[in-house]
Amino acid sequence: MEEEIRELVLGVDGVAIVYSADPLWLTVLKQVGAALSPVDDPAQLPFVVCLRDDDGGRQIMRVQVRIGTNGAVPAPALARNVAAAIRVFVSARQPEVGVVAAVEVAAIGV
C-alpha cells in the first residue's frame, strides 16, 4: 500500500517530490548499518510509512509522508490536500479503519 500512496501523493497538484519518511539522521544511520552488515542487502528507504494501531478497540492506520512542493499551491493547503487524498484512498480500500495522515512539508519550491 505504501508505494500506491506514494504514487497518489506524487499525483497531487503542487507536489514535486516525496522524500524518505525517515528523518535524515535515521536514513544515514540505516545506510551505515547496511554498509557494515555482513549481508549484501542495501537498506530500503521508506517513502511512506503506514502503521496500524488499535485505538481503544478501533483500528487506525497512521500514514506518514514527507513532501517537497513546486510552489504552485501554498504549503499549508497542499499538506491538507495530500492528507485528504490519503484519507480517501485508504478509506476506500479499508473502510473499517480510521486514517490519520501526517504530511510534512520538507521543502517549498523544489
Which DSSP string do the residues of 51-84 spell out, in sequence order? Answer: EEEEETTEEEEEEEEEEEE-SSS-HHHHHHHHHH
- Report the predicted TM-score, pTM, of the whole model to 2 decimal places: 0.79
Confidence of residue 13 (pLDDT cuts 50, 70, 90): very high
Domain locations in the chain as residue ranges: 2-107
Q: Is the pLDDT of residue 42 over 60?
A: no
| Arithmetic mean of pLDDT, 32-40 | 66
Apex CA 56: angle with CA 54 and CA 58, to 5°? 55
CATH architecture for the domain at 2-107: 2-Layer Sandwich (3.30)
Q: Is the pLDDT of residue 43 over 60?
A: no
